[in-house]
Structure 1
Amino acid sequence: MSRPQMPRPDRKPLIALVDRANRALQTDMVRRAHADGHAEVKMAHNSVFGTLHSGGARAADMAVRAGITRQSMGEVIRDMVALDMLEMKADPNDGRAKVVDYSEHGRSVAGDGFRHLIELERRFEEEFGEQEYEVVRDVLARLVDVLDRFAAEEDQVSSSAGGSVG
């Protein structure tokens, strides 16, 4: 018995290109942290560096922004607390909750990372030209907006269909 043929794209799918670019950027950030003397930085820490804003944040909110589970974010946070990059403090608005913030050492590591990101942006502009690089950034931002809109439309259709089933 023959198996049905699976459809295959005729070129590398956009999701593969974006994933590869994301992994390359994340790897570059860790490589640079190590070069800057922060050998304790791990790839998993990028989920915190990418979601922790100044003034602190709740782990659950950071997990949502990173697109990972609260348990996974909690594990990364505990690791970074043990490495003296993060501190946990009582949430002033909710005594039951904790707020995650950078320790002094963590601010130094994150600061070096942000300086590297600024330099990367400059180098990308230099490599591609300011206009072409702005197009890349604009298209990626619009792509996210379109995917969010598609998801909202599908959710709306699903909830409408689900409501009419009796």
Structure 2
Amino acid sequence: MSRAQPRRLDRKPLIALVDRANRALQSDMVRRAQADGHTEVKMAHNAVFGTLHAGGARAADMAARAGITRQSMGEVIRDMVGLDLLEMRSDPNDGRAKVVDYSEHGLAVAGDGFRYLTELDRRLEQEFGEQEYAVVRDVLDRLVGVLDRFAAEADQASSSAGGSVG
């Protein structure tokens, strides 16, 4: 018996294009940080830089936003604490929990990164043109919304099916 071969797509799947763009953008951020003298910055640190906002956050919340495990986020955070990019303090609302925040050095690194993001945004807008770049951003934003809606619908259908068994 021969096994059925998966059908070949006539173009790259959207997920492959988005993944490649994401990896290229993240690599570019690390390359720029290192060029700016922040040689301690690694690709793994993007999970923190992309999810930690002013005022700090819990590691579990950051992990959920980054789509990685709490253990993985904890490992990255410990590395960044050791590099003096982050610091940890007790959560004022829960003495058992810790809040992660930028150290003074980490704020400088993150600030340079945000300035570069602004510059990169401007350069991409020049490259594609204002209207086309606005369309790219709008479509990606809408894509996230649609995928979130699909996930919520699937969760709802799953919980409805599970609740009606009996």
Task: Bin the TM-score by the shorter chain.
Answer: over 0.9
Match in the other structure for 2:78: 78
Asked if 1:154 is matched to 2:154, the reply is yes
The AA in structure 1 aligned to 2:20 is R
Q: Report 1:128-143 matches (<5 A).
A: 128-143=128-143
Match in the other structure for 1:13: 13
The AA in structure 1 aligned to 2:36 is D
Return the alpha-carbon distance in structure 1 between the equivalents of residues 56 and 157 of structure 2. 37
Q: TM-score under structure 1 normalisation?
A: 0.97
Return the alpha-carbon distance in structure 2 between the equivalents of residues 55 and 75 of structure 1. 21
Q: Report 1:39-78 matches (<5 A).
A: 39-78=39-78
> Which ranges of structure 2 fall in alignment gaps of 5 or more residues?
none
The AA in structure 2 aligned to 1:59 is A
Return the alpha-carbon distance in structure 2 between the equivalents of residues 71 and 97 of structure 1. 15
The AA in structure 2 aligned to 1:94 is D
Return the alpha-carbon distance in structure 2 between the equivalents of residues 134 and 101 of structure 1. 32
Post-superposition Cα deviations, 1:91-121, rounded to whole Å, max 9, x if no partner, equal 1111111110100110111011111100000
CA RMSD of aligned residues (A): 0.8
Return the alpha-carbon distance in structure 2 between the equivalents of residues 163 and 21 of structure 1. 40
Query: 1:9: Cα distance to partner?
Result: 1.9
Query: 1:156: Cα distance to partner?
Result: 1.3
Match in the other structure for 2:117: 117
Query: 1:41: Cα distance to partner?
Result: 0.4
Return the alpha-carbon distance in structure 2 between the equivalents of residues 42 and 29 of structure 1. 10
Post-superposition Cα deviations, 1:7-66, rounded to whole Å, max 9, x if no partner, equal 232110000000000000000000001100011000000000000000111111111110
Match in the other structure for 1:4: 4
> Which ranges of structure 1 fall in alignment gaps of 5 or more residues?
none
Asked if 1:38 is matched to 2:30, the reply is no
Return the alpha-carbon distance in structure 2 between the equivalents of residues 8 and 89 of structure 1. 52
Query: 1:160: Cα distance to partner?
Result: 1.5
Return the alpha-carbon distance in structure 1 between the equivalents of residues 25 and 5 of structure 2. 35
What is the identity percentage for the equivalent residue pairs of Structure 1 and Structure 2? Answer: 84
Return the alpha-carbon distance in structure 1 between the equivalents of residues 72 and 153 of structure 2. 29
Return the alpha-carbon distance in structure 1 between the equivalents of residues 157 and 107 of structure 2. 45
Q: Which range moved further: 42-51 or 147-156?
A: 147-156
